[in-house]
Amino acid sequence: MKTIIVSNRLPVKISDNNGELEFKQSEGGLATGLGSIYRQGDNMWLGWPGIEVASEDGQREITSRLGAMNLYPVFLTQEEINLYYEGFSNETLWPVFHYHPTYARYEQSYWDSYVEVNRKFKEAIFQVAEPGDKIWIHDYQLLLLPGMIRAEQPDITIGFFLHIPFPSYELFRLIPWRAELLENMLGADLLGFHTFDDVRHFISSVTRILPVHSYGNELNYDDRQAVAEPFPMGIDDKKFEDLAQSELVLESVATLKETFQDSKMILSIDRLDYSKGILQRLQAFDILLQSNPEYIEKVVLYMIVVPSRDTVAQYKELRDEIDKLVGNINSRYRTLNWTPVNYYYRSFPVEMLSALYTMAEVCLISPMRDGMNLVCKEYVASRTNNTGVLILSEMAGAAKELIDAVIVNPNNVGEVYRAMIDALNMSLEEQERRMRAMREVVSKFNIRHWVKIYMDKLDEVKQMQDSMQAKHIGPNGRVYIENEYIHARRRAIFLDYDGTLVGFKSNIDMAMPDEDLYDILEQLTADPANNIVIVSGRKYQTLEDWFGRMPIDIIAEHGAWQKRKDGDWQKLPGLYNQWKQEIRTILETYVDRTPGSFIEEKSYSLVWHYRKVEEGLGELRANELMTTLRFITADKGLQMLPGNKVIEIKNVEVNKGKVSLSWLDNNECDFIMALGDDHTDEDMFKALPESAFTIKIGSNISSARFYLRDYREVRRLLRSLTIRKSLSA
């Protein structure tokens, strides 16, 4: 069993040195963190090596040399890079996911290539993967890969991590291929995001766009469970701490100090991107110099912008605008010995970054959107003497953890400007208090911790699925139940109706029994050893219409009404319903405020239904309603029962547990089976003897002993019981 890391780009730089290929391992945070995984044993990292190699010989050589580093290449053509990477990944997904939908291009050719390249990755994986392997896929270039792998290897373990933000549903739904993207993401067992907000947005998109049921962060789709959870990514804190104290870096710091003398340094480092807020940052710095001339010659903005995608029009334009604004500020404020903005459009060796982190009194990170942002964490890790101030945009994922930074809204240029003034004047004590707290966070939640908790959770999700699988009644479980069934002399079979014998319909009147169901019930009732008891929350009149003619016992309205197969309808004695008027008035206010909801009145209960209400709003109102009714119901001896898109208010004495037990008191049975899909069925599962076959439909979060996926599986089980019985007779 091995682990395969997959990302668009391999952590290696291959360069052609006079015909001789040179391989340099990447030192990025992700590569360092995952080094503990992919460098071990048979494990590997699979991705694009970053160069175009057309010849088979060339590809073979690269594959073999990378193999020695536990890397496995997926070769891409220039056209694929243009359409899949620059196109769909960077011109469609990137702007939408970073809240710039107007920059997004929805080109069919981009999408086609994205599908093709994801397929290419899948094929490469199957050249090396075996059943039992673990696969951890990274980032937005490979959103389709989990589903494509799952389709061919249903049991393989797949983790997925998104390094950029997941946008709100309102933005995500703009993408023409939104359903395909989500369906395939759900092929993963564990979906990791940087922040809880990303998780919320993802869950809200999948539940609105696909028929997915969510229980908290567990998502049920297509007979599988996936889990979505935040894992804020950390850095290699030790590396930056050690670098800051290394001789080479200290020498560079001394040189920088000589250059900048008494000027305080505000540092900013980003890749060229419209999501980084570079222009707004320059505007804030401009205001600082304009409104506070005392800072002239006393402060510099040291700004590194790492070149990126500058062949794309939007990026080129941004670059030109930065050039213009930097030129404008420098030309207005420069003095003979001082340049306000030290701007570099290139990258530097990490030792130089470390020297700048060590030197800068202030680090200004003000993206409009950023999945996490590691630069701010590297600054904190480098401040070994606990001084320095971090100004951090609330739109960066890191702001959720580094709450002791000076947090700003990057759109509020005035606020960013004031934050710079505060930072430049912050007392040493205050700096130390904040920096210590942030250093603790950066050190505890470092990259090794991130990898560990992600991998632990992936194993846990797999175990959860396995235990669900164990509870699921497969062929063996079915044979076991059939044997007990055949040898029993007198049987009780309690059947819930909605969601158990028929599918869940948004119109309750549409969920009437069909021929197939009648046929199954007839087969069951044909055996004199069987007592079939329908236990439903539905009105007794409805159940009478549907099943009254059959030799079946019926318990209606959760037990308020009962009818034996050969008797009449009886109501539970001692129930009263004078409370209804007051509760109904409250429910009506909820119906008035919640389009699609309605009230159902039963003899001894009132039900507020929200199955036709907009996703999310129904749950919100249901919680509100429960809070409103909490005291009134307690006062009146009533019970509130939250069910599947319903809240039922009824007398405390009425519940499926009590009624099924009292039914058994009068009827001794040596085989008891109970099936249900709802909260209200839990009372029954708990009340029945341990030997009973209690079966929950649709979820494994239950006190029932077994689980079936849906009403179709229920019908299959019931039918198989009757067939086995007739075969054994």
Residues in the chain: 729
User: Of 25 and 525, which has the nearer Cβ to ligand GDG?
Assistant: 25
Spatial neighbors of 302 by CB under 8 A, at least 6 apart, are 265, 266, 267, 268, 342, 356, 360
Closest CA to 243 of 87, 77, 355: 355
Cite the DSSP H helix spans in 567-710: 580-593, 617-635, 656-665, 679-687
DSSP conformation letters of 10-66: -SEEEEEETTEEEEEE---HHHHHHHHHHTSTT-EEEEE-SS---SHHHHHHHHHHH
Q: Closest distance between ligand GDG and the C-beta of residue 379, in Å?
A: 10
End-to-end Cα, the chain, rounded Å:
48
Closest CA to 652 of 640, 662, 660, 661: 640
Q: Closest distance between ligand GDG and the C-beta of residue 45, in Å?
A: 16
User: Of 341 and 374, which has the nearer Cβ to ligand GDG?
Assistant: 374
User: Of 164 and 423, which has the nearer Cβ to ligand GDG?
Assistant: 164
Catalytic residue status for 496: yes
Q: Closest distance between ligand GDG and the C-beta of residue 136, in Å?
A: 14
User: Of 28 and 642, which has the nearer Cβ to ligand GDG?
Assistant: 28
Closest CA to 370 of 229, 239, 197: 197
- With 0-12 / 13-18 / 19 or more C-beta atoms within 10 angstroms meaning exposed / middle / buried, residue 24 is exposed
Spatial neighbors of 44 by CB under 8 A, at least 6 apart, are 2, 4, 5, 38, 70, 71, 72, 128
Task: Give contact residues for ligand GDG (rule: CB under 6 A).
Answer: 28-29, 163-164, 233, 269, 271, 304, 306, 347-350, 353, 370-375, 378
Spatial neighbors of 201 by CB under 8 A, at least 6 apart, are 165, 166, 167, 168, 169, 172
Q: Closest distance between ligand GDG and the C-beta of residue 695, in Å?
A: 43
DSSP conformation letters of 701-728: -SSSSEEESSHHHHHHHHHHHHHHHHHH
User: Of 221 and 240, which has the nearer Cβ to ligand GDG?
Assistant: 240
Strand 299-306 vs strand 218-221: parallel, antiparallel, or unpaired?
unpaired
* CA separation for the pair 363, 266 (Å, rounded): 6
Pick the catalytic residue: 189, 198, 496, 678? 496
Q: How far is CA 366 from CA 197, 274, 275, 284, 421, in A?
A: 19, 12, 9, 11, 15
User: Of 253 and 306, which has the nearer Cβ to ligand GDG?
Assistant: 306
Strand partners, 20: 17
User: Of 29 and 618, which has the nearer Cβ to ligand GDG?
Assistant: 29
Q: Closest distance between ligand GDG and the C-beta of residue 95, in Å?
A: 13
Q: How far is CA 93 from CA 88, 102, 139, 311, in A?
A: 6, 12, 11, 18
Q: Closest distance between ligand GDG and the C-beta of residue 312, in Å?
A: 16
Q: Closest distance between ligand GDG and the C-beta of residue 238, in Å?
A: 14
User: Of 191 and 304, which has the nearer Cβ to ligand GDG?
Assistant: 304
Q: Closest distance between ligand GDG and the C-beta of residue 277, in Å?
A: 13
Active site residues: 496
